[in-house]
Amino acid sequence: MGNSWWEVQVLCDPAMEDDIFWRFDSFGSQGTSTQRRGSASFVQAYFAQHRLELLDLSALALLVKQDALCSDLAVPRVTWNLIDEEDWSKSWKDHWRPEPIGDRFLITPAWLEPPDDNQRIVLRLDPGVAFGTGAHPTTQLCLESLEMRLTYDSPNVTLADIGCGSGILSIGALLLGAKKVYAADVDDLAVRSSVENRELNHLSAEDMPVLHGSLEDLVNAVDAPVDGVVCNILAEVIMDLIPNLHTLVTPEGWGILSGILLEQSKLVADTLEQHGWVVATLWRRQEWCCLNVRRS
């Protein structure tokens, strides 16, 4: 029998999207989607049934409504229902279309073909039950940062992707010319999704080994320190990783860090500088930001 999932649906003012995504992440969302319905936004998220009880869902709905009141926005409508994994996957297919990101990528659902006149790099994706479809601002910022970085680096660049989710950043880096990307996630479903998406894009396990684990497991797995690290997870998790992040990269290494709300960026930047990193640039999209950093 497949896993069961809570599907949470929020009909809200478009200005609330970022706050709602953040709330979903803080409660452990395994995937999100958004679409427009007239002048409103319809946001969905998915949570493993065994991780949330009805009391948790009620608390989530209350926090979302409080966020709206604090921002002087209309109170959103929050509903939820229980679905099985097969229904979860089908719901993605109803709403997802090829999406251009940055200057070079076209994120394309596995079940669709890119347009005939497409000139972009096609990154095929079926997120399954893992986070990362390219729709969220943090994923877009990371892909755009990889575009900038890998356009000018040598073709022998090696990377590590901490919290790889669907594998979208690892795959994107390889399609841009990286030599090898080590992908890791603590979630079994994310590991499975990354492997499946690696195969969708005709990449090998040698080019993109996928591990179950986090920073320490990556340090033990890499053949040699990597040139760069990408990490698109919550700011609180990034803060915990920073003290030991240097153990994974070369002395000239760099990083692309996102999943950070703009209001959290100073605290993250200060922690990076305390541990031998320099913030080279901060890219912002809506209320989220991406820090491009390097070893000092």
* 133 CB-contact burial (10 Å; exposed 0-12 / middle 13-18 / buried 19+): buried
> How much is the pLDDT for 1?
39
Q: Which residue has the higher pLDDT, 253 or 131?
A: 253
The helix-helix angle for 54-70 and 17-26 (nearest 10°) equals 150
In the numeric block, which tokens belong to residue 260?
């950070």
Q: What span, in angstroms and rounded, lies between the C-alpha atoms of 22 and 259? A: 9
DSSP state of 122: E
Domain edges within the chain: 4-95, 130-295
pLDDT-derived band at 98, boundaries 50, 70, 90: confident
Q: What span, in angstroms and rounded, lies between the C-alpha atoms of 39 and 265? A: 31
Strands 32-37 and 40-48: antiparallel
> How much is the pLDDT for 287?
78
* pLDDT cut 90: percent of the chain above it: 62
- pLDDT single digits (tens) 148-167: 999 877 779 999 999 998 89
Give the dihedral of Cα atoms 118, 286, 256, 135; nearest 10 deg.
-40
> How much is the pLDDT for 85?
67
Beta-bridge partners for 5:
48, 83
Other C-beta atoms lying within 10 Å of the C-beta of residue 247: 11
pLDDT at 144 > cutoff 50: yes
Residues near 198 by beta carbon (within 8 Å), at least 6 away in sequence: 167, 170, 171, 204, 205, 208, 210
This prediction has a pTM of: 0.73
Residues 97-103 have a mean pLDDT of 88
The helix-helix angle for 168-175 and 137-152 (nearest 10°) equals 30
Q: What span, in angstroms and rounded, lies between the C-alpha atoms of 271 and 240? A: 10
Beta-bridge partners for 211:
184
Looking at domain 130-295, which of 3.40.50.150, 3.40.50.10420, 1.10.260.40, 3.30.980.10 is its CATH number? 3.40.50.150
Q: What span, in angstroms and rounded, lies between the C-alpha atoms of 9 and 180? A: 38
Give the number of residues written for the chain: 296
Collapse the DSSP code of 251 into the 3-class scheme (helix H, G, I; strand E, B; otherwise coil) and give the result.
Answer: strand
Collapse the DSSP code of 84 into the 3-class scheme (helix H, G, I; strand E, B; otherwise coil) and give the result.
Answer: strand
Residues 192-201 have a mean pLDDT of 94
pLDDT-derived band at 188, boundaries 50, 70, 90: confident
Q: Which backbone phi and psi does 31 adopt, to 5 degrees?
A: 170, 145
Q: Which backbone phi and psi does 208 adopt, to 5 degrees?
A: -140, 75
> How much is the pLDDT for 162?
97
CATH top class, domain 4-95: alpha beta
The domains spanning 4-95 and 130-295 adopt the same CATH topology? no
Residues 243-252 have a mean pLDDT of 96
> How much is the pLDDT for 89?
58
